[in-house]
C-alpha cells in the first residue's frame, strides 16, 4: 500500500471513531424511550424493550411511532396535576415517527391515546 493512502485511511478511521464515541456518550446521558401506538387499540412506552413502570426523573429522548390515523400519543403527569405537564406527541390523524426530548419530573404519569383513554393507557411512576 502507498504510504500516503495509509495515512488518509488512518485519519478517516480516527474520525469514524470520534463520531461513534460521541453518539455513544449522548445515548448514555439521554436514555431513549420508545412509544408505539396502533395500528390496533394498543399503546406502549418502553425503555430497552421493557414496558416502563418506574423511571428516574430526568431528561429523556422520546421516539413515538404512530401507526394509526385515529389514535394519538399523549404523555401527561397526572399527579401532581399542577403545574400541568402534558404533551400530545403525535396527533390523531398523524402517522409516522415523532421525536422529542423532554424532562420528566417526579409523579404519576400516563401514556395514552386521548380519544380512547379507557382502553389505551399505560401508567408509570417517575421517581426522584
Ligand atoms: Cu385512540
Gap from CA of 87 to ligand 1 centroid (Å): 15
- The domain spans of the chain are 1-29, 31-127
- pTM listed for this prediction: 0.77
**What is the 73 CA–ligand 1 centroid distance (Å)?**
8
Amino acid 50: pLDDT: 98
Instruction: Please write the tens of the pLDDT for every residue from 83-105.
Output: 999 999 999 999 999 999 999 99
Ligand 1 geometric centre to CA of 109 (Å): 18
CA of 52 to the centre of ligand 1 (A): 20
> For residue 29, what pLDDT is reported?
77
What are 56-74's pLDDT values in tens digits?
A: 999 999 999 999 999 999 9
- How far apart are the CA of 53 and the centre of ligand 1, in A? 21
As beta bridge partners, residue 34 has 46, 63
Residue 75 has pLDDT above 70, yes or no: yes
- Whole-angstrom Cα distance, residue 38 to residue 68? 5
Confidence of residue 35 (pLDDT cuts 50, 70, 90): very high
Q: Is the peptide bond before 111 cis (omega within 30 degrees of 0)?
A: no
Question: Which CATH class for the 31-127 domain?
Answer: mainly beta
Amino acid at each position: 500500500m502507498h504510504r500516503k493512502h495509509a495515512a488518509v485511511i488512518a485519519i478517516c478511521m480516527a474520525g469514524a471513531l470520534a463520531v461513534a464515541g460521541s453518539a455513544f456518550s449522548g445515548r448514555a446521558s439521554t436514555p431513549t424511550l420508545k412509544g408505539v401506538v396502533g395500528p390496533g387499540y394498543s399503546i406502549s412506552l418502553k425503555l430497552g424493550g421493557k414496558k416502563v413502570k418506574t423511571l428516574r426523573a430526568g431528561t429523556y429522548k422520546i421516539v413515538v411511532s404512530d401507526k394509526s390515523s385515529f389514535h394519538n400519543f399523549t404523555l401527561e403527569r397526572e399527579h401532581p396535576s399542577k403545574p400541568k405537564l402534558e404533551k400530545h406527541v403525535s396527533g390523531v390523524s398523524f402517522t409516522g415517527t415523532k421525536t422529542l426530548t423532554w424532562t420528566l419530573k417526579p409523579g404519576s404519569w400516563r401514556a395514552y391515546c386521548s380519544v380512547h383513554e379507557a382502553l389505551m393507557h399505560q401508567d408509570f411512576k417517575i421517581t426522584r
